[in-house]
Copies of this chain bind each other. A is one copy, B any other.
């Protein structure tokens, strides 16, 4: 299995604190030593970092945990391989361009007897996760494309709801084939589908002190933020021990934008 980490914020925010906790699970406090990756969105552009070595030993992960890259949306993943070799090509998150935007995907779980036929998007590596991503992108492109409607994804919210529904249905279909927890984004929206395990937490004023569960590290967000900041963090398991995380239910989907839930649906 693997662990997921996502962030959605209303102002460019760094994720050093949460990432510091996550990377400990990549070989120290957790067994997810088969690589890690992170994608930061900045005004539609992306910065990617990835390594097929354990995050706890990775010099690049060290840089990412210390260098405050400010971003509106983040997706990160640490891997414990089950399907697909341990190499760079199988390291999440995966990215593809659709409708003039970069889409990023990370998956926790595994799928059985699942070999979708590529239409437009083709996997480069050999994971079931990337196959599912390409399959989902193909479905979205085939069923929602109508370029004038959703490209560049500036339609009204009715069009968006159609896409969220398609993603929710896709996730529930995958749940019949195994475990499917997923984070997906095109920079503006952080789309979270829970098959088994996904937790989230919104930090807003009044900010307090948070303590990591996986490392001796605490941060006083009051010193790091302004009163208007709203930041949601999503993770497979809670990353802090003194805050109230919300557990998502199997089959549930939540779409976050600017740190707030904007669309959700129970199973």
Contacts and interface: CB of A to CB of B under 8 A. Distances in A.
The contact size tier of chain A is 35 or more
Contact of A63 (B42, B60, B91, B99): B60
A211 to B, nearest CB: 28
A43 B89 contact: yes
A207 interface: no
Interface stretch (A115-123, A197-205, A227-235): A115-123
B120 A101 contact: no
Contact of A87 (B45, B122, B123): B45
Interface string A13-56: 00000000000000000000000000000111111111110000
Number of copies: 2
Interface in A91-148: 91, 95-97, 99-102, 118, 120-125
A98 B118 CA distance: 11
B121 A97 contact: yes
Chain A interface mostly helix, strand, loop or mixed?
mixed
Contacts of A47: 48-51, 88
Given A60-B63, A63-B63, A45 B100 contact: no
A86 to B, nearest CB: 11
A76 B101 CA distance: 22
A88 B12 CA distance: 14
A14 B121 CA distance: 31
A73 interface: no
Contact of A44 (B44, B60, B97, B124): B124
A151 interface: yes
Nearest to A35: B45
A89 B44 contact: yes
10 contacts: A43-B89, A44-B89, A44-B125, A45-B87, A46-B88, A48-B48, A99-B122, A100-B118, A100-B124, A102-B124
Given A44-B88, A96-B97, 11 more contacts: A42-B87, A42-B88, A44-B89, A45-B87, A45-B89, A47-B48, A47-B49, A63-B63, A99-B122, A100-B122, A120-B120
Interface of A: 42-52, 59-60, 63, 67, 87-91, 95-97, 99-102, 118, 120-125, 151
